[in-house]
Structure 1
Amino acid sequence: MKTNQNIQNHRNHDADDYAYLAAKGWSDAEILERWDAEAKSGKGPCRWFGPARSKLTAVTGRK
């Protein structure tokens, strides 16, 4: 999966979150918009730990 520099350098970048959103059909522009909004509201990157990990695996195949 090739990501652009704006995605890779975004302060809310997380490779798992990007893989999940891209697998769900989100464009890079949509992902950046979401991450910008989350960062603006004070939220950091989404981390796929615990029960959320099984959802990530089901959608992306990432373990």
Structure 2
Amino acid sequence: MRDAVAAAANTQQDADEPAAQRRPDTTSMLDELARLAVLHRHGALTDDEFIRAKRRLIGG
């Protein structure tokens, strides 16, 4: 669980970066979406944090 909390902190930092600075390729974007889903499912991200992180990741 400690790893999930650390990953959530990293995700929040990543989510705060502009999308133009971190344009992942399709594979890494899918990996990141899966990672966000796991963090959300385990309670490390709230619903709002999860939604914001997804939007930033896909540029929307």
Q: Give the TM-score range, shorter chain.
A: 0.3 to 0.5
The TM-score, its normalising length taken from structure 2, stands at 0.34
User: Based on CA coordinates, which of the two structures has the bigger radius of gyration?
Assistant: 1
Determine which structure has greater relative contact order: mean sequence separation of CA pairs < 8 Å that are 6+ residues apart, divided by chain length: 2
